[in-house]
C-alpha cells in the first residue's frame, strides 16, 4: 500500500519507518527542507533506539522516501497520515494550527481518487469533523478558478476538478519515547475511529501485519473500531490515567515520608494486585515529556469548554508540579542555604533512552536552583548542552558525569539512566565538597550509597 506521512517529528518518523519496514511504500513529508535533506543523509532529528537502522534499511531497499513537497505525497498515496505537533497554549488548550494547515493543504492536492486521511496527531474530541471540513475547504479552493469575461465584465467561476473523494479516520498513537520501535511492532491495541466502513477496511489492510500476522507464533493485535469522537477520547483518557497513576503514587510518597513508611515497598505490594499492576507506579520527581503534560491539560481544557470541572485531573497536574518543589525543599533541608552552592544534576531528559527535554523535571529544577543563586552543573548521556541551554541558558552541561560532581555540595539524580547505577559511588563521594545524594528517581540502593560515604535521600523513603 502507498502511504504518505505528513510531519517527520517523533510520531511521524517512527510511524513511517515502521510501516515501510513491513513492506508498505512510504513517503514522509516535512516542510523543513533542511530536515528532509538531513533525513536523506540518515541524520535523525530525534534520538530513538533502533530508528536510524530502520530508516537506513528501508530507504536503501526503496520502501521509504523523504520529501518537502505536499503535492507529491498526496498524489502518490492511498493513505495519508497527519502527524504534526499540537503543543499546549498558555491556557492548556492545544495549538491546532499545524493540523489545520495540513488538512487544508491536503485538500488542495486531491484529484478525485479515493484516499483515507488518518489523523494521528493528538487532537481534542470533535476534531475529526473540522478536519473533514478543512480538507473539503482546501479542495474547493483548488478546484475553482475565477475568469474575467471582457465583454460584460462578468466573473465566471468554473469547476476544474471532480469533487474530493476521501474519508477521515482517527488512529491515535500510544508510543513510549525510548521504546517507540518496540511499541510500534508490539502494540497492546490498534484503535480506529471512523464512520466509513470502507475506510476501516483500508486500515485493516494497512495493519494486516499486526492484526492478521502470517507467522504462526505471532498473536494478532486487537483492533478496536469505534466512532471518531471515541477514538479521539481514548488517547486523552489513556494518557490522563497513566499520569494520574504516577501522581497518585507521588502523593502517597509524600505521606510515606511523614509517617516513616517506604513508598517503594508500598508500591511493590499494591502493584501485585492485578487490578493495579506495577507499571507507572514509581514515585519520583514528577513526569514530563511531550505527551502527559499536554494531554492532561488539553483534557481539562475540553472539560471546561463543555462546562465540566475536571477536579481529579487538575489535582494530577498540581501534584506533579509540587514534586519539583519537593526536590528543592529537600535540598534546602540538607544544605540550609542554597545561594552560592554548587549542585550537580544527573539526567536532563524527562525519561531515559530519549533526548526529549520537553517539560523535563530536571530542567525545571535546574532553573529554580539557578534562580535561588546556585551554580548548576549537569550531565546527560544523550542531551547536549546546546539542547539544554535553549531552555536554561545558564545551565552548565558537561560530557562526564564524574566531572559534574567535582566540588558539588549535592548531587540530584533526575533521570534513571542505567549507566548512573554502574558508577562508583565511592568515587562520587570523594569528588564532592559535601557528599549529599538526592535520588529523585529512587533508582539507587540507599544502603550502598550510605556505605559509599554518601548522605542518601530519596523520594518517599
Cβ atoms of 416 and 443 closer than 8 Å: yes
Which is nearest to 345 in space by CA: 267, 259, 439, 268? 439
Residue 152, Ramachandran bin (φ over 0: left; ψ between -120 and 50: alpha; else beta)? alpha
Chain centroid to CA 409: 34
For residue 225, count CB atoms less than 10 angstroms from its CB and return exposed for 0-12, middle for 13-18, buried for 19 or more.
middle
Query: Please, what's the b/e burial string for 283-319 (b: 16 or more CB within 10 A of its CB; e: otherwise)?
Result: bbbbbbbbbbbbbbbbbbbbeeeeeeebeebeebbeb
Distance from first CA to last CA of the chain, Å, rounded? 54
Which pairing describes strands 115-119 and 79-82: parallel, antiparallel, or unpaired? Answer: parallel
Contacts of 303 (CB under 8 A, 6+ apart): 309, 310, 313
What angle (nearest 5°) sits at the alpha carbon of residue 429, between those of residues 362 and 444?
55
What angle (nearest 5°) sits at the alpha carbon of residue 293, between those of residues 131 and 257?
160
User: Could you count the other beta carbons within 10 Å of the beta carbon of residue 211?
Assistant: 16
DSSP assignment of 366-385 equals HHHHHHTT-EEEEE-SS--H
Catalytic residue among 256, 291, 310, 443: 291
Is 291 a residue of the active site? yes
Cβ atoms of 134 and 108 closer than 8 Å: no
Catalytic residues: 291
Amino acid at each position: 500500500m502507498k502511504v504518505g506521512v505528513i510531519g517527520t517529528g517523533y510520531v511521524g518518523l517512527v510511524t513511517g519507518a515502521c510501516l515501510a519496514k513491513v513492506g508498505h511504500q512510504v513517503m514522509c513529508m516535512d516542510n523543513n527542507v533542511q530536515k528532509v535533506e538531513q533525513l536523506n543523509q540518515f541524520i535523525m532529528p530525534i534520538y530513538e533506539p533502533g530508528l536510524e537502522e530502520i530508516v537506513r534499511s528501508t530507504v536503501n531497499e526503496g520502501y521509504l522516501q523523504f520529501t518537502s513537497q505536499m503535492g507529491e505525497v498526496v498524489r502518490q498515496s492511498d493513505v495519508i497520515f497527519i502527524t504534526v505537533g499540537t503543543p499546549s497554549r498558555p491556557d492548556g488548550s492545544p495549538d491546532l494550527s499545524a493540523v489545520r494547515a495540513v488538512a487544508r493543504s491536503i485538500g488542495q492536492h486531491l484529484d478525485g481518487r479515493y484516499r483515507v486521511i488518518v489523523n494521528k496527531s493528538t487532537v481534542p474530541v470533535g476534531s475529526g469533523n473540522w478536519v473533514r471540513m478543512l480538507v473539503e475547504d482546501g479542495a474547493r479552493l483548488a478546484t475553482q478558478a475565477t475568469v474575467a469575461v471582457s465583454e460584460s465584465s462578468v466573473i465566471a467561476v468554473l469547476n476544474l476538478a471532480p469533487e474530493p473523494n476521501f474519508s477521515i479516520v482517527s488512529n491515535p498513537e500510544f508510543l513510549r519515547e525510548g521504546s517507540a520501535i518496540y511499541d510500534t511492532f508490539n502494540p497492546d491495541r490498534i484503535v480506529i475511529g471512523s464512520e466509513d466502513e470502507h475506510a476501516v477496511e483500508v486500515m485493516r489492510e494497512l495493519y494486516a501485519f499486526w492484526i492478521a500476522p502470517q507467522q504462526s507464533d505471532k498473536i494478532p493485535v486487537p483492533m478496536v473500531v469505534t466512532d471518531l469522537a471515541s477514538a479521539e477520547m481514548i488517547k486523552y483518557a489513556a494518557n490522563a490515567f497513566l499520569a494520574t497513576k504516577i501522581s497518585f503514587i507521588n502523593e502517597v510518597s509524600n505521606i510515606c515520608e511523614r509517617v516513616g513508611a517506604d513508598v517503594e515497598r508500598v508500591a511493590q505490594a499494591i502493584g501485585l494486585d492485578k487490578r493495579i499492576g506495577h507499571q507507572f507506579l514509581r514515585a519520583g520527581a514528577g513526569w514530563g515529556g511531550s505527551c502527559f503534560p499536554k494531554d492532561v491539560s488539553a483534557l481539562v481544557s475540553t472539560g471546561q469548554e463543555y462546562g465540566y470541572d475536571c477536579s481529579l485531573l487538575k489535582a494530577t497536574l498540581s501534584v506533579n508540579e509540587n514534586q519539583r518543589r519537593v526536590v528543592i525543599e529537600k535540598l534546602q533541608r540538607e544544605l540550609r542555604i542554597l545561594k552560592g552552592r554548587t549542585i550537580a544534576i544527573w539526567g536532563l531528559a524527562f525519561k531515559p533512552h530519549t533526548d526529549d527535554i520537553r517539560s523535563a523535571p530536571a530542567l525545571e529544577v535546574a532553573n529554580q536552583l539557578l534562580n535561588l543563586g546556585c551554580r548548576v552543573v549537569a550531565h546527560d548521556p544523550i542531551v547536549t548542552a546546546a539542547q539544554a541551554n535553549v531552555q536554561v541558558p545558564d545551565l552548565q552541561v558537561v560530557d562526564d558525569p564524574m566531572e559534574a560532581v567535582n566540588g558539588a555540595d549535592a548531587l540530584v539524580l533526575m533521570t534513571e539512566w542505567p549507566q548512573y547505577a554502574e558508577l562508583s559511588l565511592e568515587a562520587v563521594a570523594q569528588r564532592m565538597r559535601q557528599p549529599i545524594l538526592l535520588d529523585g528517581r529512587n533508582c539507587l540502593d540507599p544502603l550502598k550509597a550510605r556505605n559509599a560515604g554518601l548522605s542518601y535521600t530519596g523520594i518517599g523513603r
